[in-house]
Amino acid sequence: MKASVRLKVRRQDNPKSTPYWESFEIPYRQHLNVINLLMAIQENPVNEHGQKVAPVVWECSCLEEVCGSCTMIINGKVRQSCSALVDQFEQPIVLEPMSKFPVVRDLRVDRRAMFETLKKIQGWVNIDGYFNLGPGPVLDEKIRMKCYEYSRCMTCGCCCEACPQFNSRSPFIGAFAFGQVHLFNSHPVGKFDEARRLDSIMGMGGLADCGNAQNCLRACPKNIPLPDAIAELGWTTTKRAVTRFFKE
Amino acid sequence: MAGGDHNYFYLRRLHSLLGIFPIGIFLFEHFFSNSFAFQGPERFNTLVETFQTIWITPILEVAMIGLPILFHAVLGLIIVYTSTTNFVPYSYYRNWMYFFQRATGLFALAFIFLHVYSARIAPLLEGRHVTFLDMQKIFHPAWAKWFYVIGILSAAYHLTNGICTTLMTWGITVSPRSQRITAVASWAMFLGLGAWGLLILRAFL
Ligand code: HEM
Ligand code: FES
């Protein structure tokens, strides 16, 4: 077996400094994942030339591909690093921060833009207060199953990173937002705010800016059918536009 | 949200609609009437004369083709400006189609501009209508032939793939299965439309 793993990291010391590449050699063990490699660097922050360097900064939390915080570009493609098994990659394994979000340091990026988007589209169900509302309305099983798929979104940013329309020249808000609009508009109580959510995705950067490249479908680690949500909303927003034009 | 921001949705829906109607329909009509070239120079010239002497033709040309294409192209250029390409790391079918939709749009813009200028505006400035012979002159240089081949294929692709994306944009084809079927159908249409256009070109050579 290989004695060591070669790792190449695109580093950046602070949001304004110039990025640079640094390589590391990490002792090979079986079943290593990319997070293990980064932890090994943290324990022994020495680069391939034997120089002591600042340990590589990255984010992770759940370590089971449900929180999305460890998302980065591995060998050119965006994905979660906690579920990226070393044995599945060609070496050197090249790690880069996501390119569509501002870098905080090294592999850590600021994904606040997505959070702001969720606030804008009202990615939640409004309730009146803290009192007991009794049992909720029953959902059609088919709708519930669809909703479950969209509910698995962890706002990791893969759909934004892989999307050719999501970039600094475009106000496009990213595909995840439409999955969430679709999810909360399918909810019997969330439905009350349907018009507001639809309006929130009908401006610049909204649904109409989607160019149907459908990379979101391929990039989503949860296989969320985002293009389905986009196409469904394509019709509901059109109806909403007609309503707005003639009735409001 | 600002008022202009609200209008954006309507503008994009208009852009999408205009691509099919009237621009897409016109492409068919254009291929149809130019097919008279298959029957020889006289038939072609008579057709042009007949069309161009109807009083409503210039009005239709401006209102039904010129202005819609102008709007579609201006917003189209903005859309192209806001797009990027990433088919190297993400080499997927629809991502390539996304790229080609934009590339063919740009090429079609240059093509349509020169085509309209040389075949419609230049003769108009001389106070006459284009003839079979004029077209042969236009096609004479080798580069012109290639320019037309790529232009015709660009327009055909842009329309046929555009039909696919329009169906998605308007929420008609939602399921992956229906999108696959329309994708196959659009390629069949591309082959038909492309071949038809190239045959018309050959009729002049
Ligand atoms: C031959 C004349 C043309 C025809 C028949 C045509 C037709 C279409 C159609 C049907 C669509 C699909 C709309 C949708 O997906 O909703 C489209 C999209 C597009 N067109 Fe054109 N078009 C033409 C010329 C142009 C020109 C000159 C440009 C200028 C660059 C252009 C730029 C675009 C762009 C960027 C899109 C993508 C829009 C999107 O994905 O939402 N088109 N076109
Ligand atoms: S650490 Fe949560 S997804 Fe990787």
Residue A134 burial class via C-beta count within 10 angstroms: exposed 0-12, middle 13-18, buried 19 and up: exposed
Mean pLDDT along residues B166-173: 98
Q: Report the CATH fold assignment for A112-247.
A: Fumarate Reductase Iron-sulfur Protein; Chain B, domain 2 (1.10.1060)
Look at chain B and count its residues: 205
What rounded mean pLDDT belongs to chain B?
96
Residue ranges around ligand 1 (CB below 6 Å): A 211; B 16, 19-20, 23-24, 27, 72-73, 76-77, 79-80, 101-102, 105-106, 108-109, 112, 155, 158-159, 162-163, 165-166, 169
Asked if residues A238 and A159 have their Cβ atoms less than 8 Å apart, the reply is no
Please give the helix or strand (H or E) that residue B20 lies within, else none.
none
How many other β-carbons are positioned within 10 Å of the β-carbon of residue A146? 19
How far is Cα B149 from Cα B192, in angstroms, rounded to an integer? Answer: 14
Quick: pLDDT tens for B24-57.
Answer: 999 999 999 999 999 999 999 999 999 999 999 9
Say whether the peptide bond before residue B123 is cis (omega within 30 degrees of 0). Answer: no
Contact B119, B138 (CB under 8 A): yes
Residue A215: list chain B partners with CB under 8 A: 86, 90, 92, 94-95
Average pLDDT in the A184-189 region?
94
What does the block give as tokens for B43? Answer: 């038939």
The dihedral formed by the CA atoms of A175, A177, A183 and A189, expressed in degrees to the nearest 10: -160
Alpha carbons A129 and B199: distance in angstroms, whole number? 70
Task: Report chain B's terminal Cα–Cα distance, integer Å.
Answer: 56
Helices (H), chain A: 34-43, 112-120, 141-151, 158-162, 176-186, 194-200, 215-219, 226-247
User: What is the pLDDT, as a whole number, of residue B2?
Assistant: 44
Higher pLDDT, B2 or B158: B158
Q: Give chain B's contact residues with A (Cβ, < 8 Å).
A: 1-2, 5-6, 8-10, 12-13, 79, 81-86, 88-90, 92, 94-95, 97-99, 101, 165, 168-176, 179
- The ranges assigned to domains in chain B are 3-204
Tens digits of residue pLDDT in A88-125? 999 999 999 999 999 999 999 999 999 999 999 999 99
Mean pLDDT score of chain A: 96
The answer to whether residues B100 and B190 touch, using CB atoms and an 8 Å cutoff, is no
Name the residue type at position A239: K
Q: Would you say residue B5 has pLDDT above 50?
A: yes
Checking DSSP bridges between strand A77-80 and strand A71-74, what pairing results, if any?
antiparallel
According to the model, what pLDDT value does residue A129 have?
81
- In angstroms, rounded to a whole number, what is the distance separating the alpha carbons of residues B15 and B10? 9
Q: To which residue do tokens 């813009």 refer?
A: B109
In this predicted structure, what is the pLDDT of residue A179?
98
Task: Tell me how crowded residue A165 is: count the other CB atoms within 10 A of its CB.
Answer: 23
- In this prediction, residue A239 carries a pLDDT of 97
| Candidates A169, A171, A218; nearest CB to B92 | A218
User: Domain B3-204: which CATH class?
Assistant: mainly alpha
Q: Which ligand is nearest to the CA of A84?
A: 2
Q: How far apart are CA A20 and CA A153, in angstroms?
A: 32
Residue written as tokens 């090249």? A94
Tell me the two tokens of residue B17: 């609609």
Cα-to-chain-centroid distance, residue A94? 20
Q: Are strands A71-74 and A108-109 parallel, antiparallel or unpaired?
A: unpaired
Tokens of B57: 């033709």
Residues in chain A: 248
CATH for A4-109, options being 1.10.1740.10, 3.10.20.30, 3.30.70.260, 3.40.50.720: 3.10.20.30
Extract the tokens encoding A164.
């050719």
Least confident window among A241-245, B5-9, B94-98, B192-196: B5-9
What tens digit of pLDDT does each residue of A35-71 get?
999 999 999 999 999 999 999 999 999 999 999 999 9
Predicted pLDDT of residue B1: 42
Rounded distance, CA B71 to CA B78, Å? 11
Query: Each residue of B93-117: pLDDT tens digit?
Result: 999 999 999 999 999 999 999 999 9
pLDDT in tens, A116-168: 999 999 999 988 788 888 888 889 999 999 999 999 999 999 999 999 999 99
Q: Which amino acid is at B23?
A: I
- Could you tell me the CA-to-CA distances from B134 to A88, B12, B37, B142 in Å, in that order? 62, 38, 13, 16
Phi, psi of A153, rounded to the nearest 5 degrees:
-60, 130
CB contact under 8 A, B84 and A169: yes
Instruction: Compute the distance between CA of residue A196 and CA of residue A199 in angstroms, rounded to an integer.
Output: 5
| Domain locations along chain A | 4-109, 112-247
Q: What is the tens place of the pLDDT at every residue in A196-239?
A: 999 999 999 999 999 999 999 999 999 999 999 999 999 999 99
Ligand lying nearest the CA atom of residue B103: 1
Report the atom number in ligand 1 closest to the C-alpha of B108: 27
With CA atoms as reference, report the closest residue to A171 among B205, B118, B82. B82
- Token readout for B89 is 């790391």
